[in-house]
Chain A
Amino acid sequence: MAPMKLYGEMTWNVMRCVVALEEAGVEYEIVPINLGTGEHKSPDHLNRNLVKPFGQVPALQDGGLYLWESRAISKYACRKNKKELLKEGNLKESAMVDVWLEVEAHQYSSALNPILFEYLIRPKLGGTCNLKVVEQNLEKLKKVLEVYEARLTKCKYLAGDFISLADLNHVSATLFLFATPHASVLDAYPHVKA
């Protein structure tokens, strides 16, 4: 079977897929796409069978199947190779995995991404970090972390006492948080930090 191809540069969205692919033990190769030169918006990339019509990365190719959206790609990798990370087949457990997958997208990442963007991407685009945006989102993030702390005080992992894709999907953005001056925001939340 030919290895899957993951197109992208090392942003946290691409890394989200890498974590899932690694955990699921899938054979894959990374095909770098240079965001700086706008390669992701080139007709070639956009044309990959409507692979990435929004011109973003990552994109995944598995045989004749083309996918995009990091969370859809991560799910596909798990479903194909390591279903226990999704607990599909168990109605209650899969529901809990799904809830925390959504929370990661809509609560955690929606607060964290603007912070990462200001520190890590804005300079590359030739701008300066907007501290007001960072402050606002740090406040949102802290409120979210309070909920996570409460959850992780009760359960070892987000969906319960088993590790799942919900936990893994947080890894990439969190690692990038450590590259910003605000890694210490996690110190107030011992269970989250652990």
Chain B
Amino acid sequence: MGIKVYGPAASTNVARVLVCLEEVGAEYELVPVDMPSGEHKRPEHLARNPFGQVPAFQDGDMMLSESRAIAKYILRKGGSQLLRECNLSESAIVDVWLEVEAAQFSSAMSPIIFQCFVIPIVMGGKPDMKVVEENLEKLKKALEVYEARLSKFKYLAGEFVSLADISHFPTAHYLLGSPHASAIDAYPHVKAWIADIMARPSVKKVRELMKMASA
């Protein structure tokens, strides 16, 4: 297939792509990009991802960026059912929760991840607890909505698992590994749902890659 993914597995956006590749059983090569040294802003990488971010994705002569777009491409190519594109209503609800994942869940989690992981581990600094607290509050408001949803349905888009659920796992992985993992204890359905996603073989495999990368 000639698939290459550029970026560190520890990046939530890279991990999102890797899990889809694992879900469809595709063969791929993970090419490291040394972000602490600024490799992602150099011309070679900019040719792959013009915004100087990770992941970049190559399949043959096609270059893609933006993890959620790459994820969809992989799932479509692999004939996966995780997008439900055969069904107009179902695919619409998957899309809604994918947007929610980006706009509500990950947008609150990214600053927390940056403060609790990137700053201490990569930059050798101290987290700004004010930023963490503000975003934990945002996260909790989002989790209330998720809890209500997951009290009614097994998964976000309905009774079937979809990309919308799996797209959460990289940020959930960091939440569980942070000092704030107990934030989800107040949301039993969310907690159970996260555990369900984390039990998927594809997710387990990528979590291992993420741990190796950040070690």
Q: Which A residues lie at the B interface, using CB under 8 A?
A: 50, 53-54, 65, 67-69, 71-72, 75-76, 79-80, 88, 91-92, 94-96, 98-99, 101-103, 105-107, 144, 147, 150-151
Q: Which residues of B contact A94 (CB under 8 A)?
A: 72-73, 76
Within 8 A of A (CB), among B26-57: 50-51
- A53 CA to B77 CA in the complex, in Å? 33
Q: Which residues of B contact A67 (CB under 8 A)?
A: 92-93, 96
Question: Which residue of the partner chain B has the closest CB to A98?
Answer: B69
Most chain B CB inside 10 Å of its own CB: which residue of A65, A76, A79, A102:
A102
Q: Which B residues lie at the A interface, using CB under 8 A?
A: 50-51, 62, 64-70, 72-73, 76-77, 85, 88-89, 91-93, 95-96, 98-100, 102-104, 142, 145, 148-149, 152
Least Cβ–Cβ distance between A94 and chain B, in angstroms? 7
Contact assessment for B148 and A91 in the assembled complex, using a CB-CB cutoff below 8 Å: no
- Per DSSP, chain A at the interface is helix
- A105 CA to B65 CA in the complex, in Å? 13
Q: Which residues of A contact B103 (CB under 8 A)?
A: 69
Closest 4 CB pairs of A and B: A102-B66, A69-B99, A98-B69, A72-B95
- Per DSSP, chain B at the interface is helix
Contact assessment for B68 and A65 in the assembled complex, using a CB-CB cutoff below 8 Å: no
- A95 CA to B70 CA in the complex, in Å? 7
Contact assessment for A98 and B72 in the assembled complex, using a CB-CB cutoff below 8 Å: yes
Question: Which residue of the partner chain A has the closest CB to B95?
Answer: A72
- A76 CA to B77 CA in the complex, in Å? 21
Contact assessment for B62 and A95 in the assembled complex, using a CB-CB cutoff below 8 Å: yes
Could you list 10 A-B pairs, sorted by A, with CB under 8 Å? A54-B104, A54-B145, A69-B96, A72-B96, A91-B77, A94-B73, A95-B62, A96-B64, A102-B69, A103-B66
Known: A67-B93, A88-B85. A72 touches B149 (CB 8 A): no
- A27 CA to B91 CA in the complex, in Å? 21
Contact assessment for B91 and A99 in the assembled complex, using a CB-CB cutoff below 8 Å: no
Q: Which residues of A contact B102 (CB under 8 A)?
A: 105-106
Q: Which residues of A contact B98 (CB under 8 A)?
A: 72
Q: Which residues of B contact A95 (CB under 8 A)?
A: 62, 64, 69-70, 72-73
Question: Which residue of the partner chain B has the closest CB to A104?
Answer: B66
Cβ-defined partner of B92 (8 Å) among A54, A65, A98: A65
- A186 CA to B98 CA in the complex, in Å? 30
Least Cβ–Cβ distance between A140 and chain B, in angstroms? 11
Contact assessment for A75 and B51 in the assembled complex, using a CB-CB cutoff below 8 Å: no
- A156 CA to B64 CA in the complex, in Å? 18
Contact assessment for B50 and A91 in the assembled complex, using a CB-CB cutoff below 8 Å: no
- A96 CA to B72 CA in the complex, in Å? 11
Cβ-defined partner of A150 (8 Å) among B50, B70, B89: B50
Most chain B CB inside 10 Å of its own CB: which residue of A53, A65, A96, A107:
A53
